[in-house]
Structure 1
Amino acid sequence: MKITIVIPVYNSSRFLDKTLKAVDDQKNISNWDLELILVEDGSPDNSFEVIEKLSDHYGYIKAVKLSRNFGHQIAVKTGLSYSTGDYIAIIDDDLQDPPSLLPRFFQELDNGYEVAYGVRKKRKESEAKKLAYTSFYRLLNSISDTKIPLDSGDFCVMTKNIKDKMLSLNEQNPYLRGIRAWVGYKQVGVEYERSGRIEGESGYSLKKLIKIAKDGIFSFSSLPLQIISLLGNIGLFISCVFTIFTVIRYFNNKIDVAGYTTLIIMIMFFNSILLISLGIIGEYIYRIYNEVRNRPYTIIEKTINI
């Protein structure tokens, strides 16, 4: 059985050697026929130079350098496109999902599952981050047309069959854990305690986290479009009530020049609904435009052993 491990690399030059040492230790323990694919996602540091040096020591490394920072999901998708193993694993470069857990996951594939994904039982992160992640996963699960497992990330193992099916969906803004769930087949969650980072800060800025959240919501739920209808119905109801109220005042001869405040409030309310609706429609239109341009989802600058 050939094993492929895909690791997206971003700003990891200081500790990447520790990550590869952990992978190599587990390779020797489990006697893997290993293919390790490192995708350097336009890091501002010298991560790719470190990868080049490490590839001299670890002959099973294959590396891809992207021409700029395309984002975590694109980096993982690029790594999957170069994967040739029978079983493929996705882990991060910071050892929060350590290679020592992989034999448990591969065992599930041996038992007949096509995908074994990690379910985070505990996270060593700030309370604010944990609350945000927990809330988002539950929100997405409740509104998604595809049921995406709670508290599951990109950390998983899959068969070559699932990898091929996922890559057949050529989306410009992929939400991979959602695509993985959408593909279907026999999948199982494996609980584990997520470790803290071995060093450095997460490459996920607030802006990147919001983008991934938007990719998940807009790619796997029609709720934003339904919200427009809901806002329209609320506006219609308020308009009807206000119209009845105005007519009653008219027949009771209580209409006077006053009403400036009410008028301003009504204009601001309906303009807000209009702008929110246009923003939601604009998000979908941009995503459609992004798909029909048919640009490549990434640009490869350099490779090693490929």
Structure 2
Amino acid sequence: MARCARGETRYRRMKSGRDPDGSVVISVVVPVYGCDGCIEELCARVRLALMDIHVPFEILLVDDRSPDQSWAKIVAAHEHFPEVTGIRLSRNFGQHIAISAGLAAAKGEYAVVMDCDLQDPPERIPDLYAKIKEGYDFVLAKRVSRSHSAGRLIGAKAYFFLMGRLQKASFDSSFGTFSILSRKVINAFLRFSERERHYLFILGWLGFNAGTVEYDHNQRFAGKSSYSLSKLIRHAMDGIFFQSTDLLKWIVTTGLTFSLVGLISSVYFVCSYFFYGSSPGWTSLFVAMLTCTGAILISLGVLGLYVGKIFDQVKERPLYEVDLVLEHVEK
């Protein structure tokens, strides 16, 4: 950690990024989970990058109830850097709700959203800011190279392809959460109340004028990803099932197809009985029954999932609860 130690010495000599009147131009929102080894380096590099822009800023670290020492590291960063605000949620709500909590607390005219593992280089924040100042409402960072495994890359491409087919839109797996939003987009984003949310899908639904900045995706600075295979699959299923109702239309189409095949088969077997007598085929009939039964059960299961999510939504519980907030008070 010698790198961090050298960075700290430099930052102590630099003035605060906050404006004396308390105004903030850029808020950096970082959901934190399983990143205790990255927080110190993250704050140091984000602060240095924003100092180069010469605008007042704040860094919002949202602890999504990480099981490691992330909150302790956030407390230390808050004590060391005057721009750091720590927000601790009451329990784990998930990355995208943690982003929403950070955006709700952001005071800036613009908000940068980025991951905590430093795979998104903070040094590209000035490029995002320069791009959005060209007149865009928000700017997404596109990964021209990625450090993920081949299996995860293939899975991401397949997932976004399927989502594109479901929602009849184009989704590029090269985009992540690394982005900058104008205040207009932030306010529009915060009007969404659904629990099953995906940051990029909401931005895509909102529309507005979007820009793009390309960058190289870095290796994780420390630790390992909290997204296990099971979590990735669950996240993908939530996106496929609950970001669109087109899957229900697919189920109806499948049911109609099975019904049509059954009707044609019935006519065929009736005609075959009168012209040729009874014919063997119990194996194919048994397979057809299993196939139809399986399709019915899957369809009922999908419908049940939708009903369950509707039940969760109509209870109108808050998206999240904040446990603690560490914020510097201007005197």
2:293 aligns to what?
Answer: 271
1:255: Cα distance to partner?
Answer: 1.4
CA–CA distance in structure 2, aligned partners of residues 295 and 197 of structure 1: 35
Decide whether the 8 Å contact of 1:175 with 1:215 is kept in 2. Answer: no
Partner of 1:286: 308
Deviation at 1:259, TM superposition (A): 4.6
Matched, 1:236 2:259: yes
* Structure 1 runs of 4+ with >6 Å offset: none
1:289 deviation in Å?
A: 1.2
Alignment of 1:1-306 (within 5 A): 2-255=25-278, 259-305=281-327
- Cα distance in 2, alignment partners of residues 233 and 271 from structure 1: 14
| C-alpha distance in structure 2 between counterparts of 1:37 and 1:206, whole Å | 28
Contact 1:67/1:301, CA 8 A, preserved across alignment:
yes
Q: Structure 2 stretches of 5 or more lacking a match?
A: 1-23
Question: Is the 1:146–1:182 Cα contact (8 Å) retained in structure 2?
Answer: no
For 2:225 and 2:313, the matched residues in 1 are separated by: 29
Cα shift readout 1:152-182 (whole Å, capped 9, x = no counterpart): 1111101011001011011111111111111
Deviation at 1:262, TM superposition (A): 3.3
**Quick check: 2:166–2:247 contact (8 Å CA) kept in 1?**
no
Q: Report the count of equivalent residues.
A: 305
What per-residue deviation string (whole Å, max 9, x for no partner) do you get for residues 73-126 of structure 1?
111111111011001000111111111111111112111000100112110111
Supply the distance in 1 between the matched residues of 2:151 and 2:100 (Cα, whole angstroms): 29
CA distance in 2, matches of 1:254, 1:78: 70
Tell me the equivalent position of 2:16.
none
Give identity over the alignment, percent: 29
Secondary structure, aligned partner of 1:30: coil
For 2:147 and 2:171, locate their aligned partners in 1 and report how far apart those are by CA, in whole Å: 22
* Normalised TM-score (structure 2): 0.87
The whole-number CA distance in structure 2 between the counterparts of 1:192 and 1:128 is 21
Measured in 2, the distance between the counterparts of 1:47 and 1:279 equals: 38
RMSD: 1.8
Post-superposition offset of 1:149: 4.5
Equivalents in 2 of 1:165, 1:87: separation in Å? Answer: 13
- TM value normalised by structure 1: 0.94
SS in 2 for 1:252: helix
Q: Which sits farther off after the overlay, 71-80 or 247-256?
A: 247-256
